Structure 1
Amino acid sequence: MTFPLGALVTSSLLFLVAFSLPNVHSINSSWKHAAHNIIGPSNPISTPKHHRRSFLAGPWKKAQATFYEGGSGTFGGACGYEDVVKDGYGLDTVALSTVLFNKGLACGACYEIKCMDSPQGCKPGQPSLLVTATDLCPPNYALPSDNGGWCNPPREHFDLAKPAYEKIADCKAGIVSVQYRRVPCKRQGGIRFTITGNPYFNLIKVSNVGGSGDVVGVQVKGEGQLKWTDLKRNWGQRWETNAMLSGETLTFRVTTSDGRCTTSEAVAPKGWQFGQTFVGKNLA
């Protein structure tokens, strides 16, 4: 008996496929598992790196410092903190020059600042203080960098909240020379997540972060439909997502600039409301 060439080739191909794939179900399951972990914006980019050591203080550098007037409700403007006291920072805060502020990436970072302009403006004993970056000192290109345009690029400059400045220098001095370095942030209590917006646009304020203090990534997931979802930085330490968070018990994961992560499990209960603040797990 003879067979058409096409039928013979087709039969051979089917035989080869059947021979090389003896367990189609197991391969299909493996593919689904791989796809679940690789594909889709709802999966986490990073996982907690608990092996990383705590953030360490950096080297001392030279800069200058001034002060600006205001209060707890204005010292956190460019970073999205409505009230620096309620957000866990107190009044020991600072507005950074353009270079240091780095488009808001430095929000929440901590610095030790030591006054070095003695005896013209520094208080006795060359005092130092710890401050949190909560605002931007905008450039003033109408004035030279060494005479009024203190925060113009590429200067590294600290415009301290007046209550902080008064701890190290006399306000009559106006501007003083300082040494500064990045230091770990030591916070009281946990990271704070404030949820605002509406069911179709969620804006999360992340504050009171320990360790390096400056957040580079935020993720959220629910206990039901909402899988791990990456939030996008809106401005400062405000993070946004269009994912449907309402009606879900929310878990947040925060990643700081030194690569460390902390996960706050089920920190916002299922019945949470916009405008509420929830406290999660912090970094040391």
Structure 2
Amino acid sequence: MVRFLPFLYYCFLAITIALSLSCQATNDEWVTDAHATFYGDMKGGETMYGACGYKDLYSQGYGLETAALSTALFNNGSACGSCYEIQCINSKWCKPSHNTIRITATNFCPPNYTKTVDIWCNPPQKHFDLSLKMFLTIAEYKAGIVPVRFRRVPCVRKGGLKFLLQGNQGWYLVLVFNVGGVGNVADVKIKPSNSPNWMQMTRNWGQNWQFTKNLIGQSLSFQVTTSDGKIVQSNNVVPANWQFGQTFEGSKNF
């Protein structure tokens, strides 16, 4: 029996390692049927607003390491905040260094059904509209458009989850950003200080979540769930004397 226990231990260890490697291989799978173009100049050109609701990509920590996603990837806004690794492939215009870039989904590349050419963002095509800076990291400017492969990667963020409060006295719109982990938020709940219960918020657009009730004068807590089912709770992250237009940062992230 004494000799049998070490045998069981090593069997268990081998199975654990095998499962770990299997999961890692699945997470690292590349999707190859995609393309990428660019917009603007080296300074950006589309760094404010957009279909995900981010107000200023620089001040909110995203900068030019961003992309607008085609319909097939955008998924009605639920992909906002997700992160991707992208590499140029199968083109003479790919940089010989075979660089990869990591970007955050911050906007939507709308389809154009009135044209028969340059319809890269039309369904069912997978497409990334990159900032010029990101495009030039993987391909030559003269290419205009290149085939790429991509995969989801974890989002690395500094600090905690951030909440921008917008709206009016009876209607609240909260932008959730600086989200780590898988990056895209699937569910948000709110709890004002005078309530013992968490209350459901609904997606308005992009990563803007809405709630209809007068919460003036109460501190607010948020429970954020990302698309992989993980939850971060930010208790009393918003003080009772908050005002619309203010941003508050929690102590935790994914």
Normalised by the size of structure 2, how large is the TM-score? 0.84
2:50 to 72, 77, 84: 77
Q: Is the 8 A contact 2:40 2:46 kept in 1?
A: no
* Deviation by residue 1:40-88 (Cα, 9 ceiling, x = unmatched): xxxxxxxxxxxxx9xx844101111101117375465010011112222
Change (3 A) 1:57 1:186: farther
Question: Which residue does the alignment assign to 1:105?
Answer: 78
Contact 1:224 1:248 in 2 (8 A): yes
What CA deviation, in whole Å up to 9, does each residue of 1:194-216 have, x standing for no partner? Answer: 00111111110011100110001
| Compared CA separation, residues 75 and 198, structure 1 to 2 (3 A) | closer
1:72 and 1:109 mapped to 2: Cα distance? 21
Kindly tell me the number of residue pairs found equivalent between the two proteins. Answer: 228
Over residues 236-261 of structure 1, what are the superposed CA-to-partner deviations in whole Å (9 max), with x where a residue is unaligned? Answer: 00111112221111111100000000
Which among 61, 64, 72 is matched to residue 35 of structure 2? 64
2-side partners of 1:76 and 1:160: how far apart?
Answer: 16
Deviates more, 1:181-190 or 1:223-232: 223-232
Q: Does 2:150 align with 1:177?
A: no
Deviation of residue 225 (structure 1)?
3.8
Tell me how far 1:281 sits from its aligned partner: 3.8
The corresponding residue for 2:96 is: 124
Q: Show the counterpart of 1:197.
A: 167
Distance across 2 between alignment mates of 1:114 and 1:245: 46
3-state SS in 1 of match to 2:138: coil
One-letter code aligned to 2:125:
R
8 Å contact from structure 1 (residues 73, 82) kept in 2: no
- CA-based RMSD of the aligned residues comes to 2.0
The DSSP-based 3-state class of the residue aligned with 1:94 is: strand
Aligned to 2:3: none
1:250 is the counterpart of 2:223: no
Distance apart, 1:280 and its partner CA: 1.2
* Deviation (angstroms), 1:184: 0.8
The reply to whether residue 156 of structure 1 matches residue 126 of structure 2 is: yes
For 1:204 and 1:163, the matched residues in 2 are separated by 30
2:161 maps to 1:188: no
Alignment partner, residue 87 of structure 1 = 60
CA 1:221–1:72: 2 relative to 1, 3 Å: farther
Extract unaligned runs of 5+ from structure 1: 1-52
2:48, 2:151 → 1: CA distance?
A: 21
Task: Give the residue type in structure 2 aligned to 1:95.
Answer: A
1:128-139 correspondence to structure 2 within 5 Å: 128-139=100-111
8 A contact 1:262–1:281 mirrored in 2: no
Query: Where do residues 216-227 of structure 1 align in structure 2 (5 Å cutoff)?
Result: 216-225=186-195, 227=197
Which is greater in Rg? 1
In structure 2, what is the Cα distance between the partners aligned to 1:205 and 1:250?
14
Distance in 2 (alpha carbons) for counterparts of 1:76 and 1:61: 28
Would the alpha carbon gap of residues 100 and 75 (structure 1) be closer, same or farther in structure 2, given more than 3 Å must change? farther
Q: In the alignment, is the contact (CA less than 8 A) between 1:72 and 1:83 conserved in 2?
A: no
Specify the SS of the correspondent of 1:166. Answer: helix
Tell me if structure 2 keeps the 8 A contact 1:123–1:170: yes
Contact 1:87 1:192 in 2 (8 A): no
- Structure 1 residues 151, 202: closer, same or farther in 2, change over 3 A? same
Runs of 4+ in 1 over 6 A off after TM superposition: none
> Is 1:274 the equivalent of 2:247?
no
**Structure 2 counterpart SS, 1:107:** coil
> TM-score, with normalisation over the residues of structure 1?
0.76
